[in-house]
Amino acid sequence: MTVQAPVRRPGRAAGLLPWRIHLERRLEVPRWLPVATTIGAVVVALVISGVILWFAGGDPIAIFIHIVRSSFGSLGVLSDTLVMATPLILTGLACALAFRMRLWNIGAEGQFLMGAWGASAVVLIPIVPAGTPSIITIPLMMVAGMLVGGVYGAIPGVLKAFRGVNEIIVTLMLNYIAALWIAYWVFGPWSEAGFQMTAQFPKGAWLPRLSDYSSAVPAFSGLTVHLGLIFGLVAAVLVRFLLFRSRTGYEIRLIGDSPRAARYAGVNVARNTVIVFALSGALAGLAGMSEVSGVVHRLQQAISPGYGFTAIIVAYIAKLHPYGVVVASIAFGALILAGREIQPSGIPAMIQGIILFCLIASEVVLRYRVRVERRVA
C-alpha cells in the first residue's frame, strides 16, 4: 500500500471546504431503508417548505396544523379527502403499472379525460335510454370509460412497440388532443343551452355516495365518498396481484429490469408494451368515469385539476407499489383539499414540488453510502 510519499495531485485547486464528500455504491440495501428515506425526504421537504412559509410571513406550524385539520380533522373533511384521493389512486396505479416496465406514460391525464368522455357518451349519445336503472348504466359506463381510456392508452403503446416512437412525446401530445376533444363536445354537440358543459346525468348514472344512505345511518349525512373509492382499492389489489402473482406481471418486471434478459427469456416485449399501455389507459379511464359519475355528474372542461400529472408524483412516492399508491394518494388528496383554504393558493403546489424534489434527491442515499472525509491539510 502506498500511503505516505509525497502525493502528487496536480491541477486541482485546494477545496473550499475542510472535508470532501465521498459517494460509495451500495451493494446491499437494507429492507427498512427505502421506507426510512421516503419518510425522511417528506420531513425534510416539510422543513424546507416551513422555512419558505416563515420567510413569506406565515407561521409554518400553524399552517401545517391547519392542513392536517382541514383534511383529516372530521368525518366530513376526511370524506372530502378520500374523494380527492380516488382519482389519484386510479391514475397513480396507471402510472405505477407502466413505470414498472419503464414505459413513461405521461398521458394519464389524457386517458382520464377520454375515459370520462367514454362514460359520458353512455348517457349522452345516449346508448341507454333515460330512466335505465343504475345497475345497468353504471357497469356500462365503467366498461365504456375503461375501453375508451384503454384504446387511447394503446396508441402510444402500438407506436412504441412497432415503430419505436418515443412514448413520452406521444403521451404528452395526446393529453392536449384529449383536452380539445372534450372541449369540442362540451362546447358543441353536448352543450347544454350554450353553456360549456353537458346536461346533468340522470340519477341512474350517479355512483352511490355514503350520504345516499343517511336515512338509514344518520352519521353518513353529508359524506360525499362514492363507490369510486372502492374501484380504486379493488384496482390496487388487482394490480398488485397482476404484478407479483401473474405471468404477465413477471414479464413486466423482467422487461422493466432488463429488456435484454427478457428477450433472452423469450418474452414478447412488443406485445407486453401494448398490453401494459392499454391497461394503464384503462385504469386512468376508469378514474375519469368515476369522477364524472361520482362527483361532477356531468361532463365539463374542468373535471381534472391535473390528476394525471399528480399521479406521476404519487407513483414515484409509492416506489411503484400498488398499496403505496393508495397511501400516497390520500396524502396528496389532503394536500389538494387543504390547498383551497390556504392563501396564496400556490403554496400546496409548492409543497408538492418540494416533496418530489426531496424524494428524487433521496434516491442518492438509497444507491450510495455517503461518507464525509476530512481533508488532510
Enumerate binding residues for another protein (CB under 8 A). Answer: 1-2, 5-12, 27-28, 244-250, 253-254, 257-258, 260-266, 268
Of 242 and 313, which has the nearer Cβ to another protein?
242
For 81, phi then psi, to 5°, come to -60, -45
According to DSSP, residue 203 is labeled: G
> Minimum distance from CB of 290 to another protein (Å)?
27
Instruction: Give the contacts of 85 (CB within 8 A, at least 6 positions apart).
Output: 229, 232, 326, 329, 330, 332, 333, 334
> Minimum distance from CB of 145 to another protein (Å)?
24
- Return the biggest CA–CA distance within the chain: 91
How distant, in Å, are the alpha carbons of 196, 233, 292 from that of 236? Answer: 34, 5, 21
> Minimum distance from CB of 102 to another protein (Å)?
12
Query: Is 64:50 a contact under the CB 8 Å cutoff?
Result: yes
Of 56 and 234, which has the nearer Cβ to another protein?
234
Please compute Rg for the chain using Cα positions. Answer: 24
Of 247 and 374, which has the nearer Cβ to another protein?
247
Of 262 and 325, which has the nearer Cβ to another protein?
262
Of residues 69, 50, 15, the one with CA closest to residue 355: 50
Of 20 and 340, which has the nearer Cβ to another protein?
20
d(CA 103, CA 261) in angstroms, rounded, equals: 17
> Minimum distance from CB of 24 to another protein (Å)?
12
> Minimum distance from CB of 103 to another protein (Å)?
17
> Minimum distance from CB of 252 to another protein (Å)?
11
DSSP secondary structure, 56-79, as one string: TT--HHHHHHHHHHHHHSSHHHHH
Of 244 and 368, which has the nearer Cβ to another protein?
244
